[in-house]
Structure 1
């Protein structure tokens, strides 16, 4: 069984599981904390890992997972003393749906399309239906490629 490289899409350290997108493409792979060779605090969305793929009871699962590279830690937003406005790297994405633990909800395709349509109409009510469909299709493809939505 060959070792493969992938990127952690999401990992919940409380529940002890997450998913990895193999670098070579294909189906996402289930990751359980018991299959980690490193400390679980090193595993978070964006981390690059090396692992073996096994066929589990419910589909593909990772085993012998080693962290190769970790993404930079997210600096929590903090209010500015003068303005009460959030600052720090998390401030730019304060409306991302990310919670205090750095996790965010992954939307279904339908939820994503609805949210994009509403955002486009809020941004420019004069957009035509055809324009909205073109933009929405491209954004949906991008979101699927990055694991922002469920396939």
Structure 2
């Protein structure tokens, strides 16, 4: 039976955890061998879809996959700042470098990444952020 639920806890090192099903009932055991996505992506509160089976010790999940919710915080085609304006809409400020420096851009980008993908680690955010800043400089989107 296909079900949904949220990860209560998952120990990536030990390779197991538990899911709280959306429908009332007891918690469901989950094992790393039954994950369809990379195990580092499963965190407390992650919404999952799974097949419910009865194991030797109770309910067990199989074919577990993450359910990604649509987000209103997706990265836009052009950098957008917290006031909602894109760099292309602010040519005078962009030309002068006023308020569009790499520092501010990094801050805004970090906020977007954290709000968009809650499973990113700090190291992953730093890697993505630095590459995007580098690309923005190459394309002339950042003048500072």
TM-score (norm 1): 0.46
Name the one with the larger helix percent.
Answer: 2
Computing the radius of gyration over CA atoms, which structure comes out larger, 1 or 2? Answer: 2
